Structure 1
Amino acid sequence: MYNVKTYNAISPAGIDHLSNQYQVNKTDDADAYLIRSVDLHEADFPKQLKVIARAGAGFNNIPLDRVTEAGIAAFNTPGSNANAVKELVIAMLVASARHMFAVTNFSAQHIHADISLMKKTDDRFKGTELLGKKLAVIGLGHVGSLVANAARELGMKVVGFDPFLSSDAAWHISNQIERADSMKAAIKDADFVTVHVPKTAETTGLIGAEEIKAMKDGVHLLNYSRLGIVDNQAAVNALDAKHVASYITDFGEDVLFNREDVVVTPHIGGSTEEAEANGSIRGANIIMKYLETGNVKGALNLPDLNVPFNTPFRLTLIHQNIPNMVGQIATKLANNDLNIEGMSNAAKDKIAYTIIDLDEEPTEDLVDALTQINSIIRVRVIKNQK
């Protein structure tokens, strides 16, 4: 029986998806965490913990260096909330073009006013259409590609920029969408700019004062990635200078407070019933696959390694990516008279992962001997349940 501990309000869809080999929230000494946005940076992890699955795309709440040192595999579920974010971004494009929040606030305060008459004296009440307008999409991954395609369907001229665009993502982008070769080329004539990149050291501050200055006057800027991707102070400065028409973001900060030209949604980009169900189901599948087979695909801190599990037993080892590790491991098995039916190894940066398939169950003495090898981080024995 495996134990899973959840944090935050995890959709029941994922809990129900776990097989009868799993029990949920029965102990803190869990084999797996299924989480959303809980901050684990100061958490103490139980020795039993083997895997953390984040039901959502963002993972800056997981201390990757520390979980890797503890031999814990960490995963997120990119794309599980992509449609939810896409729909909200499209709604915000329409809202910004029509000054929706300003005019509805006015209407709430002047309930008997004839809004049609106000268009003659106040430009807030005379919006524009998206048809024919230019949208720059910065980041063309799961969310960005959906936004780009949806905007194209609305008749917008769409230009995308993503220096990290994968071949898989490229297939999901309409060939009618222009691909820019630089940030400056993408944003220079755009009426709207929306950013959809993961938060890393490289993307923090991606849209700053210099980038905003390169945009045209009257641009509408949207950030539905992460706090810090857009420099909020730079955005406010550009709003004050009337260079930026509006700024819409999912991430609040004091500098954005109480401005009519700023709309802050309360981090709801991926908060739909469907997105939360998708994320929790994918998280549950990740946990079951990793615990029951040791196979890895899309981990944040381990290399991909997917090997058919056809033998009675399997050893998995997380270790440093240094010379002669596989040789040392194989020697330990040979010294214990264990025949290796199959061995696979892969590396990701400084971490390597090895899977060894066996016909006989490894003894505790062998597991201890493997654990004692310098630079071995974790050794697991998995019994094939099929």
Structure 2
Amino acid sequence: MYRIQTLNNISPRGLEHLPRDRYEVASEISNPDAILVRSYKMHDMEIPETVRAIGRAGAGTNNIPVEAMSERGVPVFNAPGANANAVKELVVAGMLMAARNIPQALRFVESIDADDAKAVEDGKKKFAGYELPDRSLGVIGLGAIGVRVANAAYDLGMKVTGFDPKMTVENAWLLSSGVQQSVSVDELCANSQFLTVHVPLIEATQNLINAERIKLMPKGAVILNFARGGIVDEDAVLAALDEGHLHAYICDFPSSKLKAHDKVVALPHLGASTGEAEENCAIMVARQVRDFLENGNVTNSVNFPESVLPRVENEPRLCIANANVPNMVGQITTALAKHDLNIADMLNKSRGNVAYTMVDVDSDIPESVAEELRAIKGVLSVRLLDAPAA
């Protein structure tokens, strides 16, 4: 029986993938094996030593102490792409709001006597906009969301250019052949009437869109940020809006400074706020956490290497996380050989400072072996999994 603690309301559709005969799931639970979370900030939380995995029902993991979990040998899972369609639709809506001056027009209607036909006709002239076809869109970050945004904009007739030096082969296959490639962020900015960012907030992307890059953009350009607030320099954007260099800023991260500006549309973090997205995220992360707890497999972890090794009937498994330093595999296999344990299958992967090894053996593994492995310098965590049922 595995014990799962939920720190937010997780969609029941996701929790259905944790069968009640094997999982106890509750918001208040002692000694959990795993934690499922959405937006709860875990940095100041005392995370029990029993926790073997954390699953974030969403893409970003800024609310989770990932580095501390890595040091404990605990993988942190997320759900990349599960909310991609929801965010894509909001980005397209944002472009339409900016192009047609919809927020300003709505505020105008609220301020007048809407039954006064002359006032309506006279006022609407101030809100004349433009259409999206043949306008240029730059997309920074061509992951699951960025690819969908690029493809949708291309289908609307826009001239789309993307930048992502770390784009995966899988996402490249999904990208429309009509989307062009840019060699740098600066080049992308200089050629984009609309600019949208879809990258994580890390040190390298803090204020990625700053005053210098905004100056490179065409006069009247629009910036959209549905990724993370710190990626775009708010002060630089507001200054550019006041100067008339930017036409609009559409974002999902409100602040008192932003909401006071007439040319800013700041939404309350609605990117993934659809029933479908919440269900998709919960289902994906529940499956991943379950596969890790039961089989040791790692899929879509932000701090562990992708590691999937099919199970074989009657073969127990050792799962070992360790510092990515030389001779760790040698020490592990030596410990197994000392106890006459024959390796039937094995997988070793590394990512950054963390390495992960799964070892299947063809006989029962004594708990003393796991204790011996835990004593090896550099080993972060050891799990002993029973052989899968027939």
For the residue of structure 2 that corresponds to 1:202, the secondary structure is helix
Q: Which stretch of structure 1 is more off in the superposition, 49-58 or 173-182?
A: 173-182
* Distance across 1 between alignment mates of 2:106 and 2:300: 44
Structure 1 residue 338, shift from structure 2 partner: 2.0
Other-structure match for 2:194: 192
1:169 aligns with 2:171: yes
Cα pair 2:237 2:249 within 8 Å, conserved:
yes
Structure 1 residue 257, shift from structure 2 partner: 3.1
Relative to 1, partners in 2 of residues 1:190 and 1:323: Cα closer, same or farther, differing over 3 Å?
A: closer
Other-structure match for 2:72: 70
* Distance across 1 between alignment mates of 2:369 and 2:259: 61
1:382 aligns with 2:385: yes
String of CA shifts for 1:271-314, please: whole Å, max 9, x gaps.
Answer: 10000000000011001110111011231111122112114310
For 1:106, which of 105, 108, 114 is the aligned residue? 108
Q: Which stretch of structure 1 is more off in the superposition, 181-190 or 91-100?
A: 181-190
For 1:339, which of 319, 335, 342 is the aligned residue? 342
Q: Which stretch of structure 1 is more off in the superposition, 353-362 or 80-89?
A: 353-362
Code of the aligned partner of 2:15: I
Other-structure match for 2:319: 316
String of CA shifts for 1:21-44, please: whole Å, max 9, x gaps.
Answer: 111016231111111111111121
Q: Which stretch of structure 1 is more off in the superposition, 13-22 or 75-84?
A: 13-22
Code of the aligned partner of 1:158: V
Other-structure match for 1:369: 372
* Distance across 2 between alignment mates of 1:60 and 1:38: 10
Code of the aligned partner of 2:44: E
Structure 1 residue 194, shift from structure 2 partner: 1.2
The TM-score, its normalising length taken from structure 1, stands at 0.96
Cα pair 2:318 2:358 within 8 Å, conserved:
yes
Structure 1 residue 206, shift from structure 2 partner: 0.8
Structure 1 residue 79, shift from structure 2 partner: 0.3
1:1-386 alignment to 2 at 5 Å? 1-19=1-19, 20-25=21-26, 27-110=29-112, 111-114=114-117, 115-120=120-125, 122=126, 125-310=127-312, 311-386=314-389
* Distance across 1 between alignment mates of 2:280 and 2:385: 28
Q: Which stretch of structure 1 is more off in the superposition, 31-40 or 178-187?
A: 178-187
For the residue of structure 1 that corresponds to 2:137, the secondary structure is strand
Structure 1 residue 153, shift from structure 2 partner: 1.2
Structure 1 residue 361, shift from structure 2 partner: 2.4
For the residue of structure 2 that corresponds to 1:105, the secondary structure is helix
Cα pair 1:293 1:384 within 8 Å, conserved:
no
Cα pair 2:77 2:289 within 8 Å, conserved:
no
Listed as ranges, the gaps of 5+ residues in structure 2 are none
* Distance across 1 between alignment mates of 2:97 and 2:334: 65
Code of the aligned partner of 2:11: S
* Distance across 2 between alignment mates of 1:116 and 1:364: 80
String of CA shifts for 1:310-359, please: whole Å, max 9, x gaps.
Answer: 14310111111112211211222222232222222111122111111122
For the residue of structure 2 that corresponds to 1:92, the secondary structure is helix
Structure 1 residue 83, shift from structure 2 partner: 0.1
Cα pair 2:80 2:300 within 8 Å, conserved:
no
* Distance across 2 between alignment mates of 1:258 and 1:113: 28
* Distance across 2 between alignment mates of 1:254 and 1:325: 52
Code of the aligned partner of 1:106: F
* Distance across 1 between alignment mates of 2:325 and 2:149: 42
For the residue of structure 1 that corresponds to 2:24, the secondary structure is strand
Structure 1 residue 113, shift from structure 2 partner: 4.1
* Distance across 1 between alignment mates of 2:121 and 2:158: 27
Code of the aligned partner of 1:202: A
Structure 1 residue 196, shift from structure 2 partner: 1.1
Cα pair 1:71 1:378 within 8 Å, conserved:
yes
* Distance across 2 between alignment mates of 1:141 and 1:116: 44
Cα pair 1:249 1:264 within 8 Å, conserved:
yes
Q: Which stretch of structure 1 is more off in the superposition, 359-368 or 309-318?
A: 359-368
Count, aligned residues: 383
String of CA shifts for 1:232-254, please: whole Å, max 9, x gaps.
Answer: 11000101111111111001223
Code of the aligned partner of 1:35: V
Q: Percent identity?
A: 42
The TM-score, its normalising length taken from structure 2, stands at 0.95
Code of the aligned partner of 2:104: A
Cα pair 2:105 2:124 within 8 Å, conserved:
no
For the residue of structure 2 that corresponds to 1:106, the secondary structure is helix
Code of the aligned partner of 2:374: T
RMSD of aligned residue pairs (Cα, Å): 1.4
Structure 1 residue 152, shift from structure 2 partner: 1.2
For the residue of structure 1 that corresponds to 2:177, the secondary structure is coil
Cα pair 2:37 2:56 within 8 Å, conserved:
yes
* Distance across 1 between alignment mates of 2:338 and 2:154: 63
* Distance across 1 between alignment mates of 2:165 and 2:65: 26
For the residue of structure 1 that corresponds to 2:186, the secondary structure is helix
Cα pair 2:311 2:388 within 8 Å, conserved:
no
Q: Which stretch of structure 1 is more off in the superposition, 131-140 or 227-236?
A: 131-140
